[in-house]
């Protein structure tokens, strides 16, 4: 089992949690980004740099992940792709995406995207804070405990 991270937009607090989890659990955490990252030295932490462009990091993660892996991403279309392969996805805000909920979540995302493209103001997510960080850490711990 690996943990893959869609790292370009991943909050620093979530990355810090993942650094600690990699060391504590000895689970491989792989950060995928299109720009250079500073990561701690660890045999359990790695990164893959991909080229610039839309969805290149997503494609890399979707191609390389396997059933049973966990993908950390806020990108719902990527989450749908990896869930289809038998992996799970965890949003940095602590929402776990699996086969039971990804269809409905993807439909809502597409609906909201349609509204935005037609000029409707839909607002954005709340700021990322302590509550979201804790929810993420708790979901990650539950995932690891099940493995």
User: What structural domains and CATH numbers belong to the chain?
Assistant: 2-146 (3.40.50)
Q: What are phi and psi of 123, to 5 degrees?
A: 75, 180
Residue 62: pLDDT over 90: yes
Answer whether 90's CB lies under 8 Å from 96's CB: yes
Sign, CA dihedral 142-143-144-147, equals positive
- Above pLDDT 90, what percent of the chain? 74
Taking the complete model, does pTM exceed 0.85, yes or no?
Answer: yes
Per-residue pLDDT tens digits for 115-131:
777 777 767 677 889 99
3 state SS of 66: coil
| Rounded distance between C-alpha atoms, residue 21 and residue 114, angstroms | 38
Region 68-92 average pLDDT: 97
């Amino acid at each position: 089992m690996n943990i893959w991270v869609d790292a370009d937009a991943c909050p620093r607090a979530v990355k810090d949690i993942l650094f600690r989890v990699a060391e504590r659990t000895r689970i491989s955490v792989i950060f995928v980004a299109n720009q250079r990252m500073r990561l701690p030295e660890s045999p359990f932490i790695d990164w893959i740099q991909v080229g610039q462009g839309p969805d290149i990091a997503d494609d890399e993660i979707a191609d390389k992940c396997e059933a049973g892996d966990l993908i950390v991403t806020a990108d719902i279309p990527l989450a749908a792709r990896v869930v289809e392969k038998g992996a799970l996805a965890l949003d940095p805000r602590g929402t776990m995406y699996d086969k039971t909920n990804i269809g409905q979540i993807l439909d809502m995302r597409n609906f909201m995207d349609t509204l935005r493209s037609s000029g409707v103001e839909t607002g954005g997510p709340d700021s990322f804070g302590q509550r979201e960080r804790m929810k993420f850490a708790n979901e990650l711990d539950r995932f690891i405990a099940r493995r």
